[in-house]
C-alpha cells in the first residue's frame, strides 16, 4: 500500500518504522534528505506520526517495496528486520548499501568534544549501560544513555543537545549494520546462545557481536568468556574483568578476610558494601568499573555509585514478600544464559527453596543447559507460553513441572507450591511476544498478579489451593 507519492527520486529509504525507523526518518528529513519509508506491516508503529508531520513522504506499507529498495542510494534498516529478507537482500546484491541507525549516528555525532562508549553482550548490557551512565553522571560529566536500552540514538541528535559521553547499549541486530562507530571503549560482557531464529548458528551471532570492537581504542573483555575477546587483532588496548579470575585486572579477591573488589593490586571496596552483590551483578559491577576507569572516573566516585546503584526494573527485581515467600521479577531474562545466571544468584540469596516461572518464545534456542542448574537449585517449574513443551522436554525429570495458562494462573500456582518459604522467580528464558507486548508487559502482569493474589488473601484470610 502506498500512502503518498513524491515526484522526486528518493535517495534514502528507511526500512521498518517503529521508534528506530521513525527517528531515522525524522532526522534525515531535518537534514534536507529525500526520504521514503517501507514496512511489511500495514499499520506499523509511528506511521500516523510520520504522515502527520511529513505528509509528502512516500510510504509503502503492507510489504517491502522491492522496486523502491532497488532505486535507493542507501537503505537505513531498522534492527528488527533481517538483512536476509528477500527484498532487502536483492537490493543489497544489486549494489545498494544498507546501514542502521548506529552507523547513521556515527556519521553525524561530533567527535571533537564527545566520546562514545559501546556495550553489548547476551545478558546484563542494560544494567551495565545504566551503571556506567550513573558513574559518569555522579562524577560530574554530562552523559546520554541511548541505543537498545530504549532511547533511539537519532532522537539524541534530533534534540540538539551534546553530551561529553554517549553510553550506547547495542544489540547484535544493530551491530550487523554498523561499520564506523569506533568507540573509545567497547565491551562484549558475555556470550550465550540467543536469537538463533535470526542467525544460522551461534557463530553468526558472535560475529555480529564482535563488530563492536571495530576501531575501538580500549576493549574491555570478560576473562571468563573467550568469545568476548576481540577475534581480530588490532590496536585496541585490552582490559579484563572476571570474578575470581586471578589474572583479570578487575576481580574479586579475599582481602583481610573479606570478599573484595580489586583492580590489580589495589582494593577498591568490600563486596558487601555493594547495593547489588549477587553473583551476576558482581560481574556487572566489575565491567562497569573497568569501563568507567578507562575514561577517567575517580575510584572514590565509582565506589560511591556502586554503594547506591539498585539495578533496573525487570532484572532480578525484588517485588515483595508475601506470607514468607519472596517474589523476584526477572522478566528481562529472555534467554537461557540469563535465566541460569538469575537462578544461581537468587538461590543463594533465598535458600528456602525456589519456584521458577519460565516459558514463552524460545527464539530457536536449546533449553538443554537449563536442566543441570534447575536440578541443583529449583524445587518446581511452572511453565507458560508457546515453547513450554520444549522446556518440559529439556528439563525431563530434573524437577516437578506444572503448566499455567496465564500469568495470573502461574503466580497462583507458584504461591501454593512455595508453601510459605523461599522465593518465586519469574525468569522466562524466552521472549515474550507469544503472550505479551514485551518483557515490560510480562513483568508488569507478574507484579499485578502478585498484587491481585495479595488482595485475595487479605479478603479471605485463607491460603489458596492449586
Strand order in the sheet with 380-383: 317-322, 325-329, 423-426, 354-358, 380-383, 400-403
- For 80-142, give the DSSP string: TS-TTSHHHHHHHHTT--EE-HHHHHHHHS--SS-EEEEEE-SSSHHHHHHHHHHHHHHTT--
Spatial distance between the Cα atoms of 294 and 251, rounded to a whole number of angstroms: 16
Q: Annotated catalytic residue: which of 12, 125, 314, 363?
A: 125
β-strand partners of 98: 75
DSSP for residue 212: G
- DSSP assignments along 312-381, one per residue: -TTSSEEEEEETTEEEEE-TT--SHHHHHHHHHHHHHH-TT-EEEEE-SB-TT---TTHHHHHHHH-SEE
Active-site residue flag, 70: no
Rounded to an integer, what distance in angstroms lies between the CA atom of residue 339 and that of residue 362?
12
**Catalytic annotation on 148?**
yes
Active-site residue (options: 195, 293, 332, 377): 195
Q: What 3-state DSSP class applies to 215?
A: coil
Q: Which listed residue (148, 190, 223, 329) is catalytic?
A: 148
Distance CA 155, CA 22 (A): 9
Whole-number Å distance between alpha carbons of 245 and 281: 16
Q: Are 301 and 138 in contact (CB under 8 A)?
A: yes
Biggest alpha carbon distance in the chain?
75
State the DSSP H helix or E strand holding residue 254, giving kind and residue range, or none if neither.
strand 250-255
Residue 98 contacts residue 92 (beta carbons within 8 Å): yes
**384 Cβ neighbours under 8 A, 6+ residues apart:** 357, 358, 359, 360, 403, 404, 405, 406, 407, 410, 428, 435
Whether 195 is a known active-site residue: answer: yes
Give the active site residues.
Answer: 125, 148, 195
Amino acid at each position: 500500500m502506498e500512502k503518498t507519492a513524491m515526484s522526486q527520486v528518493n535517495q534514502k529509504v528507511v526500512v521498518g518504522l517503529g521508534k528506530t525507523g521513525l527517528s531515522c526518518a525524522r532526522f534525515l528529513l531535518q537534514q534536507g534528505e529525500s526520504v521514503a519509508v517501507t514496512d511489511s506491516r500495514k499499520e506499523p508503529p509511528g506511521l500516523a506520526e510520520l504522515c502527520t508531520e511529513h505528509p509528502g513522504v512516500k510510504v509503502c506499507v503492507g510489504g517491502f517495496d522491492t522496486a523502491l529498495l532497488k532505486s535507493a542510494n542507501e537503505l537505513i534498516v531498522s534492527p528488527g528486520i533481517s538483512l536476509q529478507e528477500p527484498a532487502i537482500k536483492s537490493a543489497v546484491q544489486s549494489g545498494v548499501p544498507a546501514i542502521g541507525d548506529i552507523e547513521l549516528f556515527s556519521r553525524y555525532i561530533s567527535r571533537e568534544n564527545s566520546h562514545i562508549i559501546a556495550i553489548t553482550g547476551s545478558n546484563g548490557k542494560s544494567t551495565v549501560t545504566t551503571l556506567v551512565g550513573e558513574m559518569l553522571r555522579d562524577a560530574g560529566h554530562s552523559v546520554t544513555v541511548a541505543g537498545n536500552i530504549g532511547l533511539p540514538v537519532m532522537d539524541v541528535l534530533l534534540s540538539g543537545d551534546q553530551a561529553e559521553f554517549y553510553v550506547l547499549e547495542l544489540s547484535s541486530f544493530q551491530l550487523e549494520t554498523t561499520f564506523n562507530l569506533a568507540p573509545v571503549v567497547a565491551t562484549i560482557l558475555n556470550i550465550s546462545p540467543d536469537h538463533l531464529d535470526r542467525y544460522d548458528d551461534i557463530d553468526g551471532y558472535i560475529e555480529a557481536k564482535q563488530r563492536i570492537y571495530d576501531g575501538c581504542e580500549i576493549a574491555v573483555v570478560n576473562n571468563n568468556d573467550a568469545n568476548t575477546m576481540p577475534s581480530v587483532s588490532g590496536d585496541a588496548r585490552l582490559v579484563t574483568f572476571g570474578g575470581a579470575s586471578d589474572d583479570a585486572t578487575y576481580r574479586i579477591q579475599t582481602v583481610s578476610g573479606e570478599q573484595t573488589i580489586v583492580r590489580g593490586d589495589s582494593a577498591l571496596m568490600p563486596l558487601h558494601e555493594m547495593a547489588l552483590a549477587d553473583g551476576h551483578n558482581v560481574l556487572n559491577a566489575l565491567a562497569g568499573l573497568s569501563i568507567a576507569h578507562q575514561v577517567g572516573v575517580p575510584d572514590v566516585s565509582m565506589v560511591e555509585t556502586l554503594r547506591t546503584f539498585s539495578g533496573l526494573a525487570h532484572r532480578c527485581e525484588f517485588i515483595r514478600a508475601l506470607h514468607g515467600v519472596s517474589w523476584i521479577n526477572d522478566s528481562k531474562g529472555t534467554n537461557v544464559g540469563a535465566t541460569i545466571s538469575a537462578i544461581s544468584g537468587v538461590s543463594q540469596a533465598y535458600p528456602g527453596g525456589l519456584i521458577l516461572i519460565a516459558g514463552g518464545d524460545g527464539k530457536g534456542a536449546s533449553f538443554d543447559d537449563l536442566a543441570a542448574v534447575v536440578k541443583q537449585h529449583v524445587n518446581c517449574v511452572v511453565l507458560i507460553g508457546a515453547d513450554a513443551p520444549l522446556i518440559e522436554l529439556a528439563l525431563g525429570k530434573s524437577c516437578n513441572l506444572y503448566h499455567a495458562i496465564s500469568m495470573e494462573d502461574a503466580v497462583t500456582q507458584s504461591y501454593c507450591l512455595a508453601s510459605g518459604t523461599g522465593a518465586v522467580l519469574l525468569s522466562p528464558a524466552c521472549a515474550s511476544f507469544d503472550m505479551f507486548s514485551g518483557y515490560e508487559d510480562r513483568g508488569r502482569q507478574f507484579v499485578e498478579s502478585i498484587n491481585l493474589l495479595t488482595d485475595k488473601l487479605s479478603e479471605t484470610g485463607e491460603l489458596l489451593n492449586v
